[in-house]
Amino acid sequence: MEHRVPSVLVAALLVSSSIIGLATAQPPRPGTETNGLTENESATLWSRDSDRYVSQQDYQQQYG
């Protein structure tokens, strides 16, 4: 019984930290990321849609 309390505590901390991390995730503001991705590539990653690649020219035509 003594080993069960730390295991439950560790499991609770793991679950709560995972939920908090997912809840606070926000996409970066345009122009602030320094990861080498184009605006189109960043939007595709953060959109949670299918990761179909769209060329930069097609993206500009569709979204301005």
Which residues, 6+ apart, have CB-to-CB distance to 36 below 8 Å? none
Where does residue 41 rank: exposed (0-12), middle (13-18), buried (19+ CB within 10 A)?
Answer: middle
What pLDDT is stored for residue 49 in this prediction?
66
Q: pTM, whole model, 2 decimals?
A: 0.33
- Every domain of the chain and the residues it spans: 4-63
Which residues, 6+ apart, have CB-to-CB distance to 53 below 8 Å? 44
pLDDT in tens, 18-44: 777 666 767 667 666 677 777 777 777
Task: Give how far Cα 27 sits from Cα of 10, 15, 31, 47, 48, Å.
Answer: 29, 23, 12, 9, 11
Of all residues in the chain, the percent with pLDDT exceeding 90 is: 0
26, 46 in Cβ contact below 8 A? Answer: no
